[in-house]
Amino acid sequence: MLRDNMVKVVVNGVGTIGKRVAEAVKKQDDMELYGLSDVSASGGLRTVLSEDGALHKTSLYGSSEDGVENLREDGMHVEGVLEDVLGEVDVVVDCTPPGIDEKNKENLYEPNDVKAIFQGGAPKDIAPVAFNADANYEEAEGEDFVKVVSCNTTSLSRTMSAVDENFGVEHAVASLVRRGGDIPQDGRGPINSTVPVTEVPSHHGPDVQAVMPDLDIKTLAVKVPVTYGHVHMVNVELEQEANEEEVLEAFEEQPRVSLVSAGDGYDSTGKIHERMRDLHSERSDMHEAAVWEETVTVENGTLYWIHMVHQEAIVVPDNVDAIRAMFELEDKDTSIKKTNDAVRIKSVP
Amino acid sequence: MLRDNMVKVVVNGVGTIGKRVAEAVKKQDDMELYGLSDVSASGGLRTVLSEDGALHKTSLYGSSEDGVENLREDGMHVEGVLEDVLGEVDVVVDCTPPGIDEKNKENLYEPNDVKAIFQGGAPKDIAPVAFNADANYEEAEGEDFVKVVSCNTTSLSRTMSAVDENFGVEHAVASLVRRGGDIPQDGRGPINSTVPVTEVPSHHGPDVQAVMPDLDIKTLAVKVPVTYGHVHMVNVELEQEANEEEVLEAFEEQPRVSLVSAGDGYDSTGKIHERMRDLHSERSDMHEAAVWEETVTVENGTLYWIHMVHQEAIVVPDNVDAIRAMFELEDKDTSIKKTNDAVRIKSVP
Amino acid sequence: MLRDNMVKVVVNGVGTIGKRVAEAVKKQDDMELYGLSDVSASGGLRTVLSEDGALHKTSLYGSSEDGVENLREDGMHVEGVLEDVLGEVDVVVDCTPPGIDEKNKENLYEPNDVKAIFQGGAPKDIAPVAFNADANYEEAEGEDFVKVVSCNTTSLSRTMSAVDENFGVEHAVASLVRRGGDIPQDGRGPINSTVPVTEVPSHHGPDVQAVMPDLDIKTLAVKVPVTYGHVHMVNVELEQEANEEEVLEAFEEQPRVSLVSAGDGYDSTGKIHERMRDLHSERSDMHEAAVWEETVTVENGTLYWIHMVHQEAIVVPDNVDAIRAMFELEDKDTSIKKTNDAVRIKSVP
Amino acid sequence: MLRDNMVKVVVNGVGTIGKRVAEAVKKQDDMELYGLSDVSASGGLRTVLSEDGALHKTSLYGSSEDGVENLREDGMHVEGVLEDVLGEVDVVVDCTPPGIDEKNKENLYEPNDVKAIFQGGAPKDIAPVAFNADANYEEAEGEDFVKVVSCNTTSLSRTMSAVDENFGVEHAVASLVRRGGDIPQDGRGPINSTVPVTEVPSHHGPDVQAVMPDLDIKTLAVKVPVTYGHVHMVNVELEQEANEEEVLEAFEEQPRVSLVSAGDGYDSTGKIHERMRDLHSERSDMHEAAVWEETVTVENGTLYWIHMVHQEAIVVPDNVDAIRAMFELEDKDTSIKKTNDAVRIKSVP
């Protein structure tokens, strides 16, 4: 039950995902960013709260008493400790590192009776629902705890649900080429190496199955020296016949899948990155999974394609939708449309 | 002499620099983006003119008859050929590739009596003035042809003019660590190599001297596998004594030099890139030369520092100022302030 | 028919492949490196022929009259033009760039009645046989022209033939993560991009089918910023049941497939590169396809694995075997064993 | 005093430097590799001791009782614990990580009265002499503890001592472009960032002064995404006049400085890496500091050049010379010549 007609949201953990979710919440008309919470002042936190930053004048809390102190020592203006205001908050979007999220649930959210959303790195059993708006919005309706799945899983859930609903998936295999680290993570490698995930199939398959339990999907993965974007090479045995136009149409109709054309000049992750810059997308973010349209191919009942995932941004709209589902504010299609309009998700011409 | 009270500007060549200058011109209150001109539809041109793009509804011309045809074949809406409208234009900012710029001057701008600005790749003698707003604004006043110097030269002109005016430069050496290619230039290397410019001193020193003829400066350079930002390591023998605070103050007062603090978390080019994203800077652009404040050091009369240059964006405000100087619209300080306010150049807190 | 009891071999085009094949030929006891041929003195040619180089005192020819002149201008000692000595040569291993190879066949090898081997970049119809020693040695026996397939195709032919012979392949899909350029190719990208091959399925599938016509295999591919090694993620529907040990055994028995263990510390292409350095392999070359043993997995009749391909070296032993096959010197197993012993191909402990 | 006519050497810590020093010791005729010592079986250790490895059949000890156990659990054959055999050993080359080296000195080498050599990461006061063979061989004569300086310091000591002896150095500044990690270090970054050392001047200047106390040298440094080779851009004010030929001659005469020519095709670190591969240098190692000859320039009394440092290999010959100096086996020139001949150090033609 809502305390007000606007959902009051706190984002706890203002890193890569947290700062983006906070900004996205601010753009919605049915929810309010009550505040941020963290335990120290990273460059990111410092900047988003600075005079020119995206979250200037947002209230800042310490996630713990120590956190309050650290933040103050770092020169930040802190309102107090998060727990003291949880009584006025409807939901916390927890974007803290794996391990911390679990403790927060036990020590902060459950005792204070506040709903919470967790991210892809959280343990499976932290919430009854592994969430992707396109694939299973309804399952989160009314829930107190929801886990929004990771970036790779989100892109696979979006594309696979489009294919599965339209043509049926007999068996799917996705080969993931993951980025080594994000733009500011200069301490992460590899330099000049390709690093396989030697556990085969990798965990990404079961992660998708947490969202789509009936999907037969296996994944393999490697890590490479890039900072912007994972790329997936996918092959799917279809249950029903389909031709390429039908598949392209199914992708086009998926509200968070974009078709990009190599022929128009977008033939690498760097060129798509530039495209998002040219669109003045904030932080050069791409919220859609981007399928290279030339790669969509059907041969002998097998469908192939290659898509790109912007690892920092793709889960942001799903976090917003999860809030709506948990408070049963809107049905799936309306929520997705509202979020998309607010954060300017659109198809690539 | 102006035909109107707003300077009518055409940007010819809508690549890395051209699209940025066009957008910056649109933000000024004393000039008007009359149109763009190009010879084919790159992904960049396509996007900036798309419905969501920054230059939507800007008129597009072909730089030649062939250009008109190519653009139309690429599906673009083209008004006609550039030459036909030059009579209504005050100045062309020419951002075409080296070689083309010279021909344009001879065949388009001189015969049609229109002023023009050229970029760093153009030959030295294309214009009587090599321009950097901080260093020699006045020299461009009233001129018909001006060359805005390259990104590396711009950052050195800004920092060196601050040092030279305040303390005098006896002798300066800058060691440049250049990016291999821009974000979308996936065909450029190196991968896993450092490539020296074996011509020593490199051309960057004489380039700075085109702006500041009395400066004794030598440069060396290498190229490395990064896409966002050059880094310069500088050592300067000072004419007068100075301490570090005085140098920091001189940099702070330079309107297009920012001090960034590694201690605040901005300790690499990737972290500064992220900072520009966190500030929602369009395209994650940084127009300032960013000096790491911890690196500013004076020992035995020699001053050392390290700064970063965003190679795609740093020359953009100087192009805008060059227009004002050529039409004698404002004096140096006023022009720089107007441009800075319009494109949101500010110091890092 | 051989002119002598040793096959006289010329390597034409002393680049990445050519210099390695020449060195490998020198290590065999049934063939002789008659000479090298090229058209200019690259750093590579200069070094391999230098006093410390691997091919010191090998005769050098110009591939054409102009080539002779260029080489002499570059300060090299040249015996003369290749064509003049073709009468004394049994076979030319042509490692010239695509386009040149075809002309050489027409203008040099056919008119002078000399056998020739071409490389993976040559057109399909340049030779009646697309060759991989493990997969189809016998087909090259007695032939005048043979094409040794590319590095990616070679690794797939070796692993797929092992799987197909033992368990039968119903359908295979390989997702290729290709290096952007070789160690010295500092002009090649990408930097910080993943570049998909937007033609799906990619040409690598049909290339394998040139060697194994009955194999149902499709491939997808991307290019990433690394210089040493392609990586393939593979999934195969088997005709017969198999468990992981049986597959590992099949790979172990394949004379040019190595199993490497991530658990032993070889968990990336960089670590395998280091392993080849630690073995004092010349040029750090790895001639085997290296399968990460932990990745070999069978689930529900589908076999998965990930392997690495050293793009510069893997085809070298196949070139040597092709020579033996063309002159019917040895049967398949003997030739492979001779070559392996001579170039020190061995399993990883 | 020597126990035998061959110096008995143990290498403790078989990582990047340790394995190379061990192999180099084996190639000398006046010293003997008594054994290796370590605490666990890395991939490197495993390989160098394998049947095909460079140090096959070398005795292995555990550096501690725990080390013995770990190594045995990792499947290695271990003779026993290092301390038990120190009585038969003349000198330990300690290549253990910083922190461990100090404890080893206190707990192992001093109590057992065995000489020891430490590496560049060790603390300054671990030994009375900071050693570089070219610059101060004589100072290590008869010493019990010597520290061989780091790779960057070694290259600067070699080049600066050549310049200082011939022309005198008034003041030197070196700008270092460092590699992010070694070939197998896939966990190290940066990817797509340039990371400045914000302490200016950096520690490398004082490190050189530990070898050459009278040299006025300052250094600045950044880290970039490459794995093979640091690059230094240097400017030196000379005490005496010199022209470029004289400087080139001084470098040529320095026994561990090589001149490489960009004009001959070696115009990047990748191309020099390939050159070492083409020379069949073990592990593609380069022991020399490589000065690009085109970069050697003198203007107005200032000397400029750019050189490359192979960070893994350059200190290896100095470790060997340090042994000879500590036992007063040979004078400087003889030792350097013996080492150079044994490890095949030669000038690039």
Q: What is the 3-state secondary structure (H, E, C) of chain B?
A: CCCCCCEEEEEECCCHHHHHHHHHHHCCCCEEEEEEEECCCCHHHHHHCCCCCCCCCCCEEECCHHHHHHHHHCCCCCCEEHHHHHHHCCEEEECCCCCHHHHHHHHHHCCCCCEEEECCCCCHHHCCEEECHHHHHHHHCCCCEEEECCHHHHHHHHHHHHHHHHHCEEEEEEEEEEECCCCCCCCCCCCCCCEECCCCCCCHHHHHHHHCCCCCEEEEEEEECCCCCEEEEEEEEECCCCCHHHHHHHHHHCCCEEEECHHHCCCCHHHHHHHHHHCCCHHHCCCCEEEEHHHCEEECCEEEEEEEECCCCCCHHHHHHHHHHHCCCCCHHHHHHHHHHHHCCCCCC
Residues of D in contact with B193 (CB under 8 A): 226, 268-271, 273
Task: Looking at the structure, give the CATH architecture of the domain made up of residues D151-309.
Answer: 2-Layer Sandwich (3.30)
C211: left (phi over 0), alpha (psi -120 to 50) or beta: alpha
> What SS3 string covers chain D?
CCCCCCEEEEEECCCHHHHHHHHHHHCCCCEEEEEEEECCCCHHHHHHCCCCCCCCCCCEEECCHHHHHHHHHCCCCCCEEHHHHHHHCCEEEECCCCCHHHHHHHHHHCCCCCEEEECCCCCHHHCCEEECHHHHHHHHCCCCEEEECCHHHHHHHHHHHHHHHHHCEEEEEEEEEEECCCCCCCCCCCCCCCEECCCCCCCHHHHHHHHCCCCCEEEEEEEECCCCCEEEEEEEEECCCCCHHHHHHHHHHCCCEEEECHHHCCCCHHHHHHHHHHCCCHHHCCCCEEEEHHHCEEECCEEEEEEEECCCCCCHHHHHHHHHHHCCCCCHHHHHHHHHHHHCCCCCC
pLDDT reading at D86 higher than 70: yes
Q: Which residues pair with D36 in a beta bridge?
A: D11, D60
Tens digits of residue pLDDT in B140-198: 999 999 999 999 999 999 999 999 999 999 999 999 999 999 999 999 999 999 999 99
Which of D204, D227, D268 should be substituted to probe chain B, the one whose Cβ sees the most B Cβ atoms within 10 Å?
Answer: D268
Query: What number of other Cβ atoms are within 10 A of residue D128's Cβ?
Result: 12
Query: What number of other Cβ atoms are within 10 A of residue C318's Cβ?
Result: 28
Query: Which residues of chain A, if any, have pLDDT below 70?
Result: 1-4, 346-349
Tens digits of residue pLDDT in C42-74: 888 999 999 888 899 999 999 999 999 999 999
Q: From the CA of D53, how many Å to the nearest CA of chain C?
A: 5
Q: From the CA of C121, how many Å to the nearest CA of chain B?
A: 20
Q: From the CA of D141, how many Å to the nearest CA of chain C?
A: 32
Please judge whether B269 and D302 are an interchain contact, meaning their C-beta atoms are less than 8 angstroms apart. no
- Write out the residues of chain D at the interface with chain B, using a CB-CB cutoff of 8 A: 171, 173, 175, 177, 190, 192-196, 198-201, 218, 220-222, 224-229, 231, 233, 235, 262, 267-271, 273, 292, 294-297, 299, 302, 304-306, 308
- Write out the residues of chain A at the interface with chain C, using a CB-CB cutoff of 8 A: 171, 173, 175, 177, 190, 192-196, 198-201, 218, 220-222, 224-229, 231, 233, 235, 262, 267-271, 273, 292, 294-297, 299, 302, 304-306, 308
Subunit partners of chain C (3 or more CB pairs within 8 A): A, B, D
Please judge whether A226 and C267 are an interchain contact, meaning their C-beta atoms are less than 8 angstroms apart. no
Report the residue from D226, D228, D306 with minimal CB separation from B224. Answer: D226
Please judge whether C265 and D42 are an interchain contact, meaning their C-beta atoms are less than 8 angstroms apart. yes
Query: Tokens 């890139």 identify what position?
Result: B273
- Write out the residues of chain D at the interface with chain A, using a CB-CB cutoff of 8 A: 180-181, 183, 185-193, 195, 225-227
pLDDT reading at B348 higher than 50: no
Which of B258, B274, B308, B346 should be substituted to probe chain A, the one whose Cβ sees the most A Cβ atoms within 10 Å?
Answer: B274
Tens digits of residue pLDDT in B276-322: 999 999 999 999 999 999 999 999 999 999 999 999 999 999 999 99
Please judge whether D280 and C54 are an interchain contact, meaning their C-beta atoms are less than 8 angstroms apart. yes
pLDDT at position B5 is 81
**Do residues A17 and A43 touch, judged by C-beta distance below 8 A?**
no
Tens digits of residue pLDDT in D239-289: 999 999 999 999 999 999 999 999 999 999 999 999 999 999 999 999 999
Mean pLDDT, chain B, as a whole number? 95
Put simply, whether the predicted model's pTM sits higher than 0.95 gets the answer yes
* Non-local CB neighbours of A103 within 8 Å, separated by 6+ positions: none
pLDDT at position B3 is 58
A7-149+315-343: CATH homologous superfamily?
Answer: NAD(P)-binding Rossmann-like Domain (3.40.50.720)
pLDDT at position D3 is 58
User: What is each CA distance from D69 to A5, D10, D104, D168, in whole angstroms?
Assistant: 66, 19, 19, 54
pLDDT at position D5 is 80
Residues of C in contact with A225 (CB under 8 A): 192, 224-226
- Write out the residues of chain B at the interface with chain C, using a CB-CB cutoff of 8 A: 180-181, 183, 185-193, 195, 225-227
Instruction: Please tell me the distance from the alpha carbon of residue C128 to that of residue C142, in angstroms, as a whole number.
Output: 11
Q: What is the CA angle D174-D178-D183, rounded to 5? A: 150
Number of inter-chain CB pairs under 8 A, A vs B:
116
Residues of A in contact with D180 (CB under 8 A): 189, 191
Mean pLDDT, chain C, as a whole number? 95
Positions of B marked catalytic: 151
Q: From the CA of A192, how many Å to the nearest CA of chain D?
A: 7
Q: What is the CA angle A286-C191-A18, rounded to 5? A: 35
Residues of A in contact with D182 (CB under 8 A): none
**Do residues A345 and A254 touch, judged by C-beta distance below 8 A?**
no
Q: Pick the residue from chain B with its C-alpha nearest to C190.
A: B186
For chain D, what percent of residues have pLDDT higher than 70? 98
Mean pLDDT of D162-177: 98
Q: Pick the residue from chain B with its C-alpha nearest to A349.
A: B50
Instruction: Please tell me the distance from the alpha carbon of residue A70 to that of residue A38, in angstroms, as a whole number.
Output: 10
Tell me, yes or no, if D95 is annotated catalytic.
no
Decide the pairing of beta strands D80-81 and D60-62. Answer: parallel
Domain boundaries, chain C: 7-148+315-343, 151-309
Which of B178, B179, B191 should be substituted to probe chain C, the one whose Cβ sees the most C Cβ atoms within 10 Å?
Answer: B191
Give me the amino acid identity at D114.
Answer: V
What the block records as the tokens of B147 is: 């060359």
Decide the pairing of beta strands C297-299 and C302-309. Answer: antiparallel
Would you identify the CATH topology of the domain B7-149+316-343? Rossmann fold (3.40.50)
Instruction: Please tell me the distance from the alpha carbon of residue B298 to that of residue B246, in angstroms, as a whole number.
Output: 10
What the block records as the tokens of C108 is: 């040099």
Please judge whether A273 and B183 are an interchain contact, meaning their C-beta atoms are less than 8 angstroms apart. yes
pLDDT at position D52 is 87
Please judge whether B189 and C193 are an interchain contact, meaning their C-beta atoms are less than 8 angstroms apart. no
CATH 3.20.20.370 fits domain C7-148+315-343: no
> What are the start-end ranges of the H helices in A212-261?
244-253
Query: What number of other Cβ atoms are within 10 A of residue D238's Cβ?
Result: 20
ipTM for the predicted complex comes to 0.96
* Non-local CB neighbours of D318 within 8 Å, separated by 6+ positions: D131, D132, D133, D148, D149, D154
Q: Pick the residue from chain A with its C-alpha nearest to B228.
A: A183
Please judge whether B227 and C192 are an interchain contact, meaning their C-beta atoms are less than 8 angstroms apart. yes
A146: nearest Cα among A124, A125, A122, A128:
A128
Give me the amino acid identity at A345.
Answer: I
Report the residue from B183, B187, B195 with minimal CB separation from C186. Answer: B195
User: What is each CA distance from A233 to A175, A181, A194, B203, C206, in whole angstroms?
Assistant: 5, 20, 16, 45, 18
Mean pLDDT of B266-275: 97
Mean pLDDT of B97-112: 96
Q: From the CA of D273, how many Å to the nearest CA of chain B?
A: 9
Instruction: Please tell me the distance from the alpha carbon of residue A192 to that of residue A190, in angstroms, as a whole number.
Output: 6
Report the residue from C194, C201, C296 with minimal CB separation from A268. Answer: C194
Subunit partners of chain B (3 or more CB pairs within 8 A): A, C, D
Instruction: Please tell me the distance from the alpha carbon of residue B19 to that of residue A285, in angstroms, as a whole number.
Output: 19
Residues of A in contact with C308 (CB under 8 A): 194
For chain B, what percent of residues have pLDDT higher than 70? 98
Please judge whether C278 and D48 are an interchain contact, meaning their C-beta atoms are less than 8 angstroms apart. yes
pLDDT at position A3 is 58
Tens digits of residue pLDDT in C323-342: 999 999 999 999 999 999 99
Mean pLDDT, chain D, as a whole number? 95
Name which residue leads in pLDDT, B346 or D183: D183
Across D3-20, b (16+ Cβ under 10 Å) vs e yields eeeebbbbbbbbbbbbbb
Question: What is the band of B1 on the pLDDT scale with cuts at 50, 70, 90?
Answer: low
Across C193-210, b (16+ Cβ under 10 Å) vs e yields bbbbbbebbbebbebbbb
pLDDT at position D349 is 37
